[in-house]
């Protein structure tokens, strides 16, 4: 493993128990004591700290808006980008097979390791300390958070529109699945019984097809 003093300087935290940091940087292909348990803990700590920060920053944001803001801040893409900025890929210990497969650059692993380091700091210190580290690392993602700029997905937009008008929520049903198992195509029906309206959506997954059907339904109910 490389000299961790540079990494600790970038994190703004020096470990009392270096074994925790070593575990946080060890992939399961390399050793029995790997980062996955620390990742589990770090994910929860990160979510809690970011949730509290957003709650304090945006006094008038709704639960739904705060949830979507948190998802944007802690999404895997953001975690991987921050990990690359820290150069975490160069510190991760892999087994020979994983090393050859290019895992050092894999976004999902980089994101997981950042969470495992957060978990390790929490155990090595305390919540107050890890909170300071998180807020420093995530200063830009948090600064970019704005409830007014949240792009809601079609299903959410449709649900909120209907709820505001006390209209029954839509029902989604798969009407057709075609194609081979590795390349299926879904057709979904979106129905609002009280309005006697139906739309159909299509996509390469059930989720995509539901969003397509919801978008078409939203256009119908807002323009009729």
Average pLDDT over every residue of 168-196: 93
Spell out the residues 6+ positions from residue 100 whose beta carbon is closer than 8 angstroms to its own.
none
Reply yes or no on whether 210 is catalytic.
no
Task: Give the domain 154-223 fold.
Answer: Double Stranded RNA Binding Domain (3.30.160)
pLDDT band at 160 (very low <50, low <70, confident <90, very high): confident
Task: Give the domain 5-148 fold.
Answer: Ribonuclease iii, N-terminal Endonuclease Domain; Chain A (1.10.1520)
Reply yes or no on whether 43 is catalytic.
yes
How confident is the model over 63-84, as pLDDT tens digits?
888 988 998 899 888 999 999 9
How confident is the model over 166-179, as pLDDT tens digits?
999 999 999 999 98
Q: Give residue limits of the domains in the chain.
A: 5-148, 154-223
Considering the candidates 39, 53, 112, 115, report the single residue annotated as catalytic: 115
Average pLDDT over every residue of 139-164: 86
Considering the candidates 22, 39, 43, 215, report the single residue annotated as catalytic: 43
Name the one residue in this structure whose structure tokens are 């050793």: 31
Give pLDDT, residue 185.
Answer: 93
Alpha helices by DSSP H, 58-106 = 63-74, 76-86, 96-100
Instruction: Output the six-digit token pair for 123.
Output: 């155990």
SS3 (DSSP) at 95: coil
Residue 25 CA neighbour count, 13 Å, CB half: 21
Q: Which residue has the higher pLDDT, 157 or 137?
A: 137
How confident is the model over 79-138, as pLDDT tens digits?
999 999 999 989 999 888 776 666 777 888 999 999 999 999 999 999 999 999 999 999
This prediction has a pTM of: 0.69
Q: Is the pLDDT of residue 1 over 60?
A: no
Q: Which residues pair with 203 in a beta bridge?
A: 186
């Amino acid at each position: 493993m490389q000299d961790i003093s540079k990494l600790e300087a970038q994190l703004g935290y020096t470990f009392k128990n270096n074994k925790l940091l070593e575990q946080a940087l060890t992939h399961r292909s390399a050793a029995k004591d790997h980062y996955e348990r620390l990742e589990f803990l770090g994910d929860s700590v990160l979510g809690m700290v970011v949730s509290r920060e957003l709650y304090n920053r945006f006094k008038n944001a709704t639960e739904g808006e705060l949830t979507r803001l948190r998802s944007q801040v802690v999404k895997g893409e953001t975690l991987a980008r921050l990990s690359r900025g820290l150069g975490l890929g160069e510190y991760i210990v892999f087994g020979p097979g994983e090393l050859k497969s290019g895992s050092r650059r894999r976004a999902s692993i980089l994101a997981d390791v950042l969470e495992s380091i957060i978990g390790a700091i929490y155990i090595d210190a305390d919540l107050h300390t890890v909170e300071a580290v998180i807020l420093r690392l995530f200063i830009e993602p948090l600064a970019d958070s704005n409830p007014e700029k949240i792009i809601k997905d079609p299903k959410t937009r449709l649900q909120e529109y209907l709820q505001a008008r006390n209209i029954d929520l839509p029902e989604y049903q798969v009407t057709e699945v075609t194609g081979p198992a590795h390349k299926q195509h879904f057709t979904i029906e979106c129905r609002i019984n009280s309005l006697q309206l139906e739309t159909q959506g299509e996509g390469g997954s059930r989720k995509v097809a539901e969003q397509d059907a919801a978008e078409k339904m939203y256009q119908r109910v807002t323009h009729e």
